[in-house]
């Protein structure tokens, strides 16, 4: 089963995204509301995909991305970008993060997540070239 680390400060958004991912795509979702918790999960769990918002209370969005890229360079990261945090999104893009606008269609959002999760698992299993 693919495992997604979902990092977002708002519990209602985490719950909605978790339900979509679990029921629509059959993904296991681990939730973190802050940078510290996200970094702990990155060290303790086998994560296939990170989905994170740009609104963490400790402003550690880039710390999570840099940690992931340093210790898990093939781990895909999707950033749920909002218009008021465009500077974070631009810096994240330079680190190789895929930016997703959460205002888009649900089916597009789910297709993007499924594609990233599948590619990550296939790379880890050495079934495709990175």
**Residue 27: which CATH number?**
3.40.50.2300
Q: How many domains does the chain have?
A: 1
- H/E stretch holding 32 reads strand 28-32
Q: What is the DSSP string of 63-91?
A: HHHHHHHHH-TT--EEEE--GGGHHHHHH
pTM: 0.78
pLDDT confidence of residue 50: 92
Q: Is 99 left (phi over 0), alpha (psi -120 to 50) or beta?
A: beta
Digit-by-digit pLDDT tens for the chain (130 residues) are 689 999 998 898 889 889 888 887 788 999 999 999 999 999 999 998 899 988 777 778 889 999 999 999 988 888 887 655 677 777 888 888 887 776 666 666 667 766 665 665 445 544 334 4
Domain that includes residue 64, residue range: 3-99
| Cα–Cα distance for residue pair 6/97, rounded to 1 Å | 15
pLDDT confidence of residue 22: 86
Q: Which of 54, 48, 12 is nearest to 30 (CA)?
A: 48
* Residue 46 domain-assigned (yes or no): yes
Helix or strand or coil: residue 13?
Answer: helix
């Amino acid at each position: 089963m693919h495992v997604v680390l979902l990092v977002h400060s708002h519990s209602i958004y985490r719950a909605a995204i978790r339900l979509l991912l679990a029921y629509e795509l059959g993904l296991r979702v681990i939730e973190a509301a802050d940078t510290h918790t996200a970094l702990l999960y990155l060290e303790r769990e086998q994560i296939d995909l990170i989905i994170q918002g740009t609104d963490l209370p400790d402003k550690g969005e880039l710390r999570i991305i840099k940690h992931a890229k340093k210790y898990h360079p093939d781990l895909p990261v999707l950033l749920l970008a909002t218009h008021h945090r465009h500077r974070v999104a631009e810096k994240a893009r330079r680190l190789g993060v895929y930016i997703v606008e959460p205002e888009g269609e649900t089916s597009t959002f789910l297709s993007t997540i499924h594609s990233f999760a599948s590619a990550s698992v296939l790379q880890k299993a050495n079934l495709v070239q990175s």
